[in-house]
Amino acid sequence: MNNSFKYNLLVCGGTGCTSSDSEIIISTFKEECKENNIDKEVKVTRTGCFGLCELGPIVIVNPGGYFYCRLEVKDVPSIVKEHLIGGNPIKDLIYKETIQDDKIIAFDETPFYAKQNKIALRNCGVIDPGEIDEYIEHDGYKALDTVLNSMTPDETIAVVKDSGLRGRGGGGFPAGLKWEFTKNNESSQKYVLCNADEGDPGAFMDRSILEGDPHSIIEAMTIAGYAIGASKGFVYVRAEYPIAVTRLQSAIDVAVETGMLGNNILKSGFNFELEIRLGAGAFVCGEETALIHSIEGERGEPSYKPPYPAESGLWNKPTLINNVETYANIPVIFNKGAKWFASIGTEKSKGTKVFALGGKIKHTGLIEIPMGTTLREVIFEIGGGIPNGRKFKAAQTGGPSGGCLPESLLDIKIDFDSLTSVGSMMGSGGLIVMDDSNCMVDIAKFFLEFTVDESCGKCTPCRVGTMRLYEMLQNISSGKAVIEDLDKLEALCHVVKSSSLCGLGQTAPNPILSTLQYFRDEYVAHIVDKKCPAGVCADLLTYTVIEDKCIGCTLCAKNCPVDAIEGSVKKPHIIDVDKCIKCGICVDKCKFDAITR
Q: What is the pLDDT of residues 202-254, one digit of tens each?
A: 889 999 999 999 999 999 999 999 999 999 999 999 999 999 999 999 999 99
The CATH number covering residue 426 comes to 3.10.20.600
pLDDT in tens, 53-109: 999 999 999 999 999 999 999 999 999 999 999 999 999 999 999 998 889 998 999
Taking residues 556-561, what's their average pLDDT?
Answer: 94
pLDDT tens profile 140-187: 999 999 999 999 999 999 999 999 999 998 789 999 999 999 999 999
Q: What residues contact residue 363 under an 8 Å CB cut-off, 6+ apart?
A: 52, 54, 112, 357, 382, 383, 384
Average pLDDT (310-319) is 97
Domain membership of residue 117 (yes or no) is no
Is the domain of 221 the same as that of 325? yes
Whether residue 291 is predicted with pLDDT greater than 80 in this model: the reply is yes
The total of other beta-carbon atoms located within 10 Å of residue 308's CB is 18
Q: Could you tell me if 448 and 565 lie in one domain?
A: no
Neighbouring residues of 574: CB distance < 8 A, sequence distance ≥ 6: 545, 565, 566, 567
| Domain-ending residue, one of 508, 529, 550 | 529
Q: Tell which residue, 209, 238, 46, has the closest CA to residue 120.
A: 209
Q: How many whole angstroms separate alpha carbon 208 and alpha carbon 55? A: 16
For residues 203 and 140, membership in a common domain is answered with: yes
Question: In 218-308, where do the E strands start and end?
Answer: 232-238, 273-279
Q: Could you tell me if 414 and 450 lie in one domain?
A: no
* 51 and 83 part of one domain: yes
pLDDT at 202: 80
For residue 482, which phi and psi values (nearest 5 degrees)?
-115, 165
Assign residue 462 the CATH number of its domain: 1.20.1440.230
Whether the predicted pLDDT of 194 surpasses 60: yes
Q: Which of 341, 370, 390 is the last residue of a domain?
A: 341
512 shares a domain with 448: yes
57 versus 399: the higher-pLDDT residue is 57
151 domain-assigned: yes
Query: Do 297 and 322 lie in a common domain?
Result: yes
Distances (CA, A) of 521 to 30, 261, 402, 516, 526: 59, 58, 20, 8, 9
Task: Note the pLDDT of residue 428.
Answer: 82
Does residue 2 surpass a pLDDT of 50? no
Instruction: For 478-510, give one letter per residue: b (16+ CB within 10 A) or e.
Output: eeebeeebbeebeebbeebbeebbbbbbbbbbb
From CA 533, how far away is CA 526, in angstroms rounded? Answer: 8
Segment 578-596 shows an average pLDDT of 91
Structural domain boundaries, residue 550: 542-596
Task: Please report whether residue 1 resides in a domain.
Answer: no
Dist CA 532 CA 522 (whole Å):
7
Any residues with CB less than 8 A from the CB of 376 and at least 6 apart, and which?
A: 410, 411
Residue 125 maps to a domain: no
Does 565 reside within a domain? yes
Confidence of residue 356 (pLDDT cuts 50, 70, 90): very high
Question: Mean pLDDT of all residues in the chain?
Answer: 95
What dihedral angle (degrees, nearest 10) is formed by the CA atoms of 355, 361, 362, 368?
-10
Report the CATH number that the domain containing residue 51 is assigned in CATH. 3.40.30.10
Look at residue 1 in the predicted model and tell me its pLDDT: 44
Nearest CA among 287, 289, 304, 367 for reference residue 120: 367
| Number of domains the chain is built from | 5
Kindly state whether residues 195 and 297 are assigned to the same domain. yes
Element (H, E) at 339: helix 338-342
Residue 189 lies in a domain: yes
> Domain with 564 in it: what CATH number?
3.30.70.20
In this prediction, residue 3 carries a pLDDT of 61
Q: Which of 341, 373, 390 is a domain's end point?
A: 341
Contacts of 55 (CB under 8 A, 6+ apart): 69, 70, 95
Q: Are 259 and 271 in contact (CB under 8 A)?
A: no
Q: Are residues 332 and 368 in the same domain?
A: no
- DSSP string for 61-113: EETTTEEE-S--GGGHHHIIIIIIIT----GGGB-GGGEETTEEPPGGGSHHH
Domain shared by 430 and 444, yes or no: no
Q: Is 558 part of any domain?
A: yes
- Domain match, 321 and 368 both: no
Q: Is residue 479 part of a domain?
A: yes
Looking at the fold, whether 137 and 277 belong to one and the same domain comes out as yes
